Amino acid sequence: MKITLPVAAEKLRAADKILITAHINPDGDAIGSTLALLQILRSMGKNAEIYIDDKIPKNFSVMPFAEEIRQPREYEKFDADLLVILDTAPDRIGKIKDLTGAPILNIDHHITNKNEEGDLYIDANAAATCEIIFYLCRELSAEITKNVAVCLYTGIATDTGFFNYSNTRPSTFRAAAALVEAGVEPNLISEQLEKRTFREVQIMSAALQTTKLFYGGKVVGMFVDRELYSQVDTTEGLIDLIRVIDSADVAFLITEKEKNICRVSMRSKGVEVSEIAKRLGGGGHVRAAGCTIYQNMDIAKMTLIRTIGEFMIENGYLRPIDFENREEVDLAAMNFENEQS
């Protein structure tokens, strides 16, 4: 059931033992929002813990209280009276559902979140879940300490591309300003998040070499195979290297993380990539979305390129005259790849 922010605050006040989680492949917003809420709830005297069913990328592991994030073990149980799911619907939290059967309070800003399990507070206009948590904090009259502010600022900064993306709205800046007043030093957070080892920069260069154009340059893709992936801590930021290409409306990155598990990230300048991701079982935002394709790299690549092409034709981003049927879309994708690479 959809609820308002004051009702969400009430649910938190009423609970004592609270399990907080966020999505797998956790990003700055997922990690920042869970860590901020952990501190807020503990300051209210609650017994709160964070479990995330994935590893935490090292650039985020310096955030305050990050060492408290636990990864669930098989068959582990956690006795809670509320499960708070942040920055995703309950379908992307991995094994957390096995940990507890507690009622769900879901707080999110993804337009594709259609969760009907438990209570949902959704604000699809919020730039980040951390922006929602900032306003929730006010609702709870909780103090925004410097440590809370650092976590919230990190999530807002990463989800807005440091206040560059179209999701950045006046209230995003207002929240950020209050967080800086609470002690955040934006330069230090940027430095920490940008940090890469020499090897990682070399890998970036190898990843860039895989870049190819499709559909006359309107789509650009990067491909990280298992060999390349095994050498990096995270692929975060790689897609930003190619989404700047002037001809491209859609940029994508396919990472084969494990055999036949390909993670897809998409960015766009207007094309509703959330809709493309949905067709492949994923979701996200209009201009930033993702999904997982359970195939090898070659098949995942064709599936994705074809789905992007079909969506773009149906919605007038590509001329249908060029692609009369599915087969030709495949062929066109291949041809463009050959032409442009």
CB 57 within 8 A of CB 87: no
Q: Which residue's CB is nearer to ligand 5GP, number 100 or number 115? A: 115
Placement of tokens 């062929």 in the chain: 331
268 contributes a contact to ligand 5GP by CB under 6 A: no
Helix (H/G/I), strand (E/B), else coil: 23: coil
Q: Comparing C-alpha atoms, which of 340, 51, 31, 78 is closest to residue 214?
A: 340
At its nearest, how many Å lie between ligand 5GP and the CB of residue 113?
Answer: 7
Residue 108 binding result from ligand 5GP, Mn ion, none, given CB thresholds of 5 to 8 Å by partner type:
none
**Tokens standing for 262?**
């390909």
Closest to ligand 5GP by CB, 21 vs 292, is 292
- Fill in the per-residue mask, 204 to 223: x = in contact with ligand 5GP (CB under 6 A), - = not in contact: --------------------
> CA-CA distance, 219 to 201, in Å (whole number)?
24
Angle at 255 between CA 252 and CA 258, to 5 degrees: 155
In the range 81-100, which residues lie near ligand 5GP by CB under 6 A? 92
Contact 96, 21 (CB under 8 A): yes
239, 251 contact by CB (below 8 A): yes
| Alpha-carbon distances, residue 8 vs 36, 108, 122, 164 (angstroms) | 16, 12, 10, 29
Q: Which stretch binds ligand 5GP (CB under 6 A): 4-12, 172-180, 283-291, 309-317?
A: 283-291
Residue whose CB is less far from ligand 5GP, 39 or 292: 292
Which member of 34, 100, 168, 292 binds ligand 5GP (CB under 6 A)? Answer: 292
309 touching ligand 5GP, by CB under 6 A: no
Partner from Mn ion, ligand 5GP, none contacting 25, C-beta within 5 to 8 A by type: ligand 5GP
Q: Out of 28, 64, 72, 282, which residue is the one contacting ligand 5GP (CB under 6 A)?
A: 282
Distance between CA atoms of 113 and 120, rounded to whole angstroms? 9
Does 155 participate in binding ligand 5GP (rule CB under 6 A)? no
Segment lying near ligand 5GP (by CB under 6 A), choices 42-50, 176-184, 289-297, 317-325: 289-297
If binding is defined by CB under 6 A, does position 126 make contact with ligand 5GP?
Answer: no
Minimum CB separation from Mn ion for residue 161, in Å? 12
Q: Radius of gyration (Cα) for the chain, nearest Å?
A: 20
| Secondary structure (DSSP) of 118-151 | SEEEE-TTSS-HHHHHHHHHHHTT----HHHHHH
Contact between 157 and 193 under an 8 Å Cβ cutoff? The reply is: yes
By CB under 6 A, the count of residues binding ligand 5GP is 16
Contacts to Mn ion by CB under 5 A: 29, 87, 128-129, 159
Burial class of residue 170, CB neighbours in 10 A (0-12, 13-18, 19+)? exposed
Binding to ligand 5GP by CB under 6 A, coded x per residue (else -) over 5-24, reads: ------------------x-
- CB nearest Mn ion: which residue? 29
User: Which helix H or strand E contains 18, and what residues bound it?
Assistant: strand 17-22
Cβ closest to Mn ion, residue 105 vs residue 203: 105
HSE-CB at 320 with a 13 A cutoff on CA atoms is: 8
| Residues making contact with ligand 5GP (CB under 6 A) | 23, 25, 27, 92, 110, 112, 265, 282-285, 288-292
